[in-house]
Amino acid sequence: MTQFNKLLDNLNTEQKKAVLDTEGPNLIVAGAGSGKTRVLTTKLAYIISEKRAWPNQILCVTFTNKAAKEMQNRVLGFIKGKSSAVPWLGTFHSISVKFLRRHAEAIGFKSNFTILDTDDQKKLIKKICEAENIDAKKISPQFIISFIDNWKNKGLTHKDVKIKKNNTLESQILKVYSIYQQKSQDLNAMDFGDLILFTVKLFENNNDIAEIYRKNFKYILVDEYQDTNFIQNKWLNLLVNSKQNICCVGDDDQSIYSWRGAEIKNFLTFDKIYPDCKVYKLEQNYRSTKNILETASSLISNNNSRVGKKLWSSGNDGDLVKLNCYSSGKDEATGVSDIIETKIKKKYSLNNVCILVRAIYQTREFEERFLKIGLGYRVLGGIRFYERAEIKDAISYLRIVNQKFDDLALERVIGAPKKGVGDATLKKIYEYGSKEKLCLEDTIINLIKLDQFKPKIKKTFSVLIKMIEKWRIEAKKIKHYDLLKLILDESGYSSALKNKKDLENENRLENLKELLRAMQDYENLQDFLEHVSLATSADQEWEGEKVNLMTMHAAKGLEFDVVFLPGWEEGLFPHQKSLQEKGDFALEEERRLAYVGITRAKKEAFLSFAMRRAYQGDWMDAVPSRFINELPENNIEKNEIVEKENDDDFDFNQDNSIELGDEYRSPGWDRLKKKLIKWKK
């Protein structure tokens, strides 16, 4: 163990214990910034270096290919080329592919099977829906895929699924699932869900094959264990041998992906599955200041479903966590930008500054502000607001209403939502238009008159042209944002998104609502479209000094010197829809999300909420998030209400005595009401 002395010297006491204990089941509860990757990698290198197992006798599972590659490189660096790479180090999916290539025949496939991507799945399901007379407008292929994925995550083949009586929707989806699986097998193809599910079925139905791997894998190491779903956990348990040398690393307080199947109970019941397990808690944080850690720890302590730990740091206290109150969402964006410009820029690189939002549409007000003052920014894990597909679609409708010669806008409108117009038809239109020197709209009108379209296409174009003409008349009578509401309704765009019931389309609808709110800041349609043109033509280079914007979900695993956490209001955070669907379970996950957000900050953290926000054209009083009530008094600095000059028509009542009535019953409101009164004094 001599060569490891130096490595071990860099570990704290609990980290060393976790590394050196290789026998039997281990659960390493690793808090944010506690060095879990270092511990897991060192443990892997230690097992190899001490010849407790050869590299091919270790199964090491990560959640991303990037993490697997980084771990592979670190291990090779630790053992300095004395061993080959670890062949069974990878993601659940990549390792499952290895198993299935070797044993495909045992589950009715050939070893050269194809792996279907999402587009392949959509195409196949669309064909099935057409054959079975299932209306894809009512039940979208993406919606069906999400259902099927959910079943597979729960370990259910189409034969295992039980549908309640009179549930027509699920019965239809189950029928598609059954046909889809048969078609996939006929094509010798599997999707990503199949890779793990079929591996589990392979081992369950072929104990001799499973036993080969159980004997081979002397050690099993698992990263980000809190993010495993039911089928992944079953996959792991099937590979554990009688010695039970399985080590799982993760943080139950950072379990934030239940919406994609992750089950925190895998983590919380590990000691029930493996009664002899040893639990190691990595509580020393190497990332954040004491004030940031104590704030996060106090907040997460309100959760009941957790192993329990308290992060600490040997570093300095650092600045108090700032809690700011703003009159509106717009003022919040202005206030945050002012802090960045006047204070943060002087001390930190903008590349180390991040704004974390609960919902992606929240980036809009910050983007608008940054564009206005010329502050560089990038949206990580997402697309700039005005570049999002649904926003560009909506803008295209407005552009063609505003200007009939905007061919690019009309071309986009023809495909949003899809109207059954193919490339051949578009080619025909453009050839005629070029010959006659007509704009796209006039070309279509002429071809309709000349009866050059098939009946169905002719009807589609006739309806579209009539609607555009109608909207141009309406544009002279109503506000430009009311015009967009009308367009989204009458074009079928909104209903198309509503009918496709999945998270992606819900986010698109929220983005469109935010677009309607943005339009109210401009006098007329022309002014707004000019603003959009300037916004979309702004510098988009990623290099250089730029503030980072992203969702809290996307920030997991990252860290920044300074973190801003805006929008801490009831309904937004915790998110109302989550609470309605899953109650207390969702509340605890939302609190874990808050914990993740705060612990991304290394040196300074700024929390904020607005007293009012615009929602679908109306100003609504906002109630501060219940999470604010759970923050520790000693680690928080409450700042005065920040009033900014508002250049829209909204007049914030600065003499509000905060007599808000009985409708505000959220935990923490009473205490905050008193604080707000003090702030105003």
pLDDT (average), residues 220-244: 96
Distance separating alpha carbons of residues 290 and 311, to the nearest angstrom: 9
Catalytic residue (choose from 191, 194, 223, 365): 223
Inform me whether the pLDDT recorded for 226 exceeds 90: yes
What one-character-per-residue DSSP string does 351-370 give?
Answer: GGEEEEESSGGGHHHHHHHH
Query: What is the share, in percent, of the chain residues with pLDDT greater than 90?
Result: 60
Catalytic residue (choose from 91, 254, 289, 295): 254
Inform me whether the pLDDT recorded for 24 exceeds 90: yes
Tell me the helices (H) and strands (E) count for the chain, helix number first. Answer: 28, 16
Tokens 């007509």 locate to 438
Catalytic residue (choose from 15, 22, 37, 121): 37
pLDDT (average), residues 274-285: 95
Is 604 assigned a catalytic role?
no
Distance separating alpha carbons of residues 581 and 241, to the nearest angstrom: 39
Query: What is the share, in percent, of the chain residues with pLDDT greater than 70?
Result: 90
* pLDDT digits 0-9 by tens, 199-216: 999 999 999 999 999 999
Nearest to 86 by CA among 40, 63, 54: 54
Q: What is the mean pLDDT of the chain?
A: 87
* pLDDT digits 0-9 by tens, 31-73: 999 999 899 999 999 999 888 999 999 999 998 888 888 888 8
Inform me whether the pLDDT recorded for 306 exceeds 90: yes
Angle at 562 between CA 558 and CA 568, to 5 degrees: 90
Q: Is the distance from CB of 626 to CB of 666 less than 8 angstroms?
A: yes
Angle at 432 between CA 428 and CA 435, to 5 degrees: 140
What one-character-per-residue DSSP string does 167-207 give?
Answer: -HHHHHHHHHHHHHHHHHHHTTEE-HHHHHHHHHHHHHH-H
Distance separating alpha carbons of residues 90 and 98, to the nearest angstrom: 10
pLDDT (average), residues 314-322: 94
Inform me whether the pLDDT recorded for 220 exceeds 60: yes
Is the pLDDT higher at 301 or at 670? 301
* pLDDT digits 0-9 by tens, 634-674: 999 998 664 444 433 323 223 333 333 333 333 334 444 45
Catalytic residue (choose from 600, 612, 613, 626): 600
Catalytic residue (choose from 14, 36, 603, 626): 36
Is the pLDDT higher at 165 or at 297? 297
Which helix (H) or strand (E) is 591 found in, with range? helix 576-598
* pLDDT digits 0-9 by tens, 334-368: 999 999 999 999 999 999 999 999 998 899 999 99
Which stretch of 153-162, 335-344, 357-366, 373-382 has the lowest confidence by average pLDDT? Answer: 373-382
Is 539 assigned a catalytic role?
no
Nearest to 35 by CA among 303, 251, 205, 331: 251
pLDDT, residue 615, reads 63
Inform me whether the pLDDT recorded for 590 exceeds 50: yes
Distance separating alpha carbons of residues 74 and 83, to the nearest angstrom: 12
Is 392 assigned a catalytic role?
no
Inform me whether the pLDDT recorded for 427 exceeds 70: yes
Q: Is the distance from CB of 471 to CB of 394 less than 8 angstroms?
A: no
Using CA atoms of 397, 399, 405, 409 in order, give the dihedral in degrees to the nearest 10: -50
pLDDT grade, residue 3 (50/70/90)? Answer: low
Angle (deg, nearest 10), helices 407-414 and 389-402: 130
pLDDT, residue 87, reads 92
Which stretch of 330-334, 411-415, 549-553 has the lowest confidence by average pLDDT? Answer: 411-415
Against a cut of 0.85, is the pTM above it?
no
* pLDDT digits 0-9 by tens, 539-575: 555 567 899 999 999 999 899 999 999 999 999 999 9
Catalytic residue (choose from 14, 194, 224, 227): 224
Angle (deg, nearest 10), helices 118-131 and 168-186: 110
* pLDDT digits 0-9 by tens, 506-537: 888 888 988 998 888 888 898 888 778 767 65
* pLDDT digits 0-9 by tens, 603-642: 999 999 999 887 655 677 889 999 999 999 999 999 866 4
Is 70 assigned a catalytic role?
no
User: Is beta strand 26-30 parallel, antiparallel or unpaired with respect to 278-282?
Assistant: parallel
Is 37 assigned a catalytic role?
yes
User: Is beta strand 618-621 parallel, antiparallel or unpaired with respect to 601-615?
Assistant: antiparallel
* pLDDT digits 0-9 by tens, 80-90: 655 568 999 99
pLDDT, residue 544, reads 76
Alpha-carbon separation of residue 579 from 158, 571, 574, 631 (angstroms) = 30, 9, 7, 20
Q: Position 446: which residue type?
A: N
Q: What is the DSSP letter of 320?
A: P
- Other Cβ atoms closer than 10 A to 220: 22
Is 602 assigned a catalytic role?
no
pLDDT, residue 165, reads 82
